[in-house]
Amino acid sequence: MRALLPFIRLFAFAKLPLILGLILMILGLASSMGLLTLSGWFLAATAIAGLGSLFNFFYPSASVRGLAIGRTVARYFEKWVTHDATFRVLANLRVQVFEKIIPLSPAVLNRYRNSELLNRLVSDVDTLDSLYLRLLAPFFSAVLVIIAMTIGLSFIHTPLALGIGMVLLLSLVLIPTTFYRLGQQFGKPLVQARATYRTQFLEFIQTQAELLLFNAENQIKAKMENTEKHWQATQEKEAKLGGFSTALSLFINGLLICAMLWFGSQADFGDDEYRAAFIALFTFAALAAFEIIMPLGATFLHIGQVIAAAERVTDIVEQQPLVEFQGEEKFEPQVRLISAKNLSFTYPESKNLALDTLTLDLEQRQKIAILGKTGSGKSTLLQLLVRNYDPNQGELLLAGKPISGYAEQTLREQFCFLTQRVYVFSDTLRQNLQFASHDKISDEKMIEVLNQVELGKLLTQPEGLDLWLGDGGRPLSGGEQRRLGIARILLNAAPILLLDEPTEGLDRETERQILRLILQHTENKTLIMVTHRLTALEQFDKICVIDEGKLIEQGDYKSLIKKEEGFFKRFVERV
């Protein structure tokens, strides 16, 4: 239950609406109980009076009608207020969770699948809505209404009132507690099975083309069916317990009604002409009271799922970022722009060195190409430059100052980083280009750049720049997505460009054109490009060759190509 405390504190965000919702819930329950109780007395008193007696039915009938209307109105506004307040709390919770997640990217979040993160952010947070709507508010309302009912009935007959009150309060303690403990065995398995199934389903949808291509669709479907069967089997067990909780509540309710009939028939209600009608009043009061107790058994049965969802959300938000930005240094460009001294780094949960005592100096406005085979540490160096990770050993300087000394915004303003994967957002072409700059980019500039990277055909669509690209840029091929990333580079004003395989997937002619555009754009900027292709390398000021995390060669194209038995020369000759 401790896992729920941080989320209960969030109720302060909508304190007044939640309190109002609780009051309306109490009024609705009280009206419902009063309606059934008064109706029982009214019908019994009317039967006792018969046709030949004078009986004032006006006040009871008016009260019955008033309680019926009051119950309807109270429940309507209670649903409105409580759901609105709950949704506001959940919206605030999602914002807080997202704010916690952002500093974890990418170092910590790489441990989770994207679909798993989405499931925790959406589904698990949604599960927490029952914390107030189905648990706290109904429970406290039930306690207060039962106490109020006991006090009211005590004015008619104190022993019977205390008897019914004690039984109801005891049931209010035993039934939820029992089914809370029984439901704990289903909470984590159900939440985990649901999360696993949704993760598998999302990945199945996202990779359906590849699965069909490699004839692996049936295997994934079989895996999903096994997960679904396990999920349904656990749900079935929980549903049986839910049915048992209802049956147990009805049984206790039946015993209480029988007890009220028995003891009520022998109770002394005074000399009132309609005193026998009080038997029906207490009996119907017992019947009405279980309207508020009966759902609590099933509710506390599901609390295990709420706790499991809370633990999964907490597991994310309590993660500590591997990189923290606390510096306040100002960026002042120097001739020696970037210096790496004895840089070593190992990725979390890995034992292999990605960089091994690497030392490298890069000057301002230089064009540097970093070569090496896959897994040699080329991309890792770029990740350290933008502080997605911090080195385990050594020193990394930017403009003569430790890179950790800069604030995040200051550091981000200096770099434009094109990763191997180009992210295409589910938005228009215009918005996907606007991400490249904080300043407003004119349509004319966007159109010019799109034509330069040979994406002008997208503008032939009727929508033009308002063309919807969809989730992941489905309408675009891999090469087109790559060129969209290049277009963002050309629209960005950062002084240092970090490009990780910018021409991957492009044909030779397009590659040369793109590299020409990049070199033209970076004429007065610093360019660091990771590549394993040889196109236009002679135009770079320096070529750095990295192998197994170590810098093994550096120099310009002419000096390296002449170096006998050099790694770069062997690489060129092999290609």
Determine the distance from the C-alpha atom of residue 497 to the mean position of all C-alpha atoms in its chain, rounded to a whole number: 32
Determine the distance from the C-alpha atom of residue 146 to the mean position of all C-alpha atoms in its chain, rounded to a whole number: 38
User: Domain check: are 393 and 244 in the same one?
Assistant: no
From residue 506, how far is each of 492, 499, 540 by CA, in Å?
Answer: 22, 15, 20
Residue 339 to residue 208: CA distance in whole angstroms: 45
- 529 has which bridge partners? 369, 499
* CB distance 467 to 429 below 8 Å: yes
Q: Is residue 330 part of a domain?
A: no
Q: Is residue 530 part of a domain?
A: yes
User: Domain check: are 282 and 404 in the same one?
Assistant: no
Give every residue of the chain whose pLDDT is below 70, as ranges: 1, 51-55, 272, 575
For CA atoms 322, 325, 326, 331, the dihedral sign is positive
- Residues 6 or more apart whose CB falls under 8 angstroms from that of 470 comprise 426
Q: Is residue 69 part of a domain?
A: yes
Q: Choose the final residue of a domain: 287, 317, 347.
A: 317
Residue type, 308: A
Q: Is residue 515 part of a domain?
A: yes
pTM over 0.75: no
The token pair that represents 52 in the structure block:
């030949």
User: Domain check: are 187 and 111 in the same one?
Assistant: yes
User: Domain check: are 444 and 552 in the same one?
Assistant: yes
User: Domain check: are 290 and 349 in the same one?
Assistant: no
User: Domain check: are 373 and 291 in the same one?
Assistant: no
User: Domain check: are 307 and 340 in the same one?
Assistant: no
Classify burial at 332, counting beta carbons within 10 Å of its beta carbon; exposed 0-12, middle 13-18, buried 19 or more: exposed
DSSP 384-395: HHTTSS--SEEE
DSSP letter, residue 525: S
User: Domain check: are 431 and 495 in the same one?
Assistant: yes
pLDDT tens-place string over residues 436-477: 888 888 989 999 989 988 888 888 888 888 888 877 777 788
φ/ψ of residue 129, rounded to 5: -65, -25
User: Domain check: are 457 and 312 in the same one?
Assistant: no
First to last CA, the chain: 63
Q: Is residue 331 part of a domain?
A: no
Q: Is residue 123 part of a domain?
A: yes
pLDDT tens-place string over residues 167-226: 989 988 888 888 888 888 888 888 888 888 888 888 888 788 778 888 888 888 899 999
User: Domain check: are 302 and 249 in the same one?
Assistant: yes
Residue 526 to residue 417: CA distance in whole angstroms: 12
| CATH code, 122 | 1.20.1560.10
Q: Choose the final residue of a domain: 267, 286, 317.
A: 317
| CATH code, 567 | 3.40.50.300
User: Domain check: are 345 and 295 in the same one?
Assistant: no
* CB distance 31 to 67 below 8 Å: yes
List of E strands, 380-536:
393-398, 401-402, 415-418, 496-500, 526-530
Q: Choose the final residue of a domain: 290, 317, 344.
A: 317
* CB distance 22 to 141 below 8 Å: yes
How many CA atoms lie within 13 Å of 403's alpha carbon, on the beta-carbon side? 27
Question: How many distinct structural domains can be found in the chain?
Answer: 2
pLDDT at 421: 85
pLDDT at 24: 92
Q: Is residue 325 part of a domain?
A: no
User: Domain check: are 26 and 116 in the same one?
Assistant: yes
How many CA atoms lie within 13 Å of 534's alpha carbon, on the beta-carbon side? 11
Q: Is residue 322 part of a domain?
A: no
* CB distance 179 to 241 below 8 Å: yes
Structural domain harbouring 503: 336-574
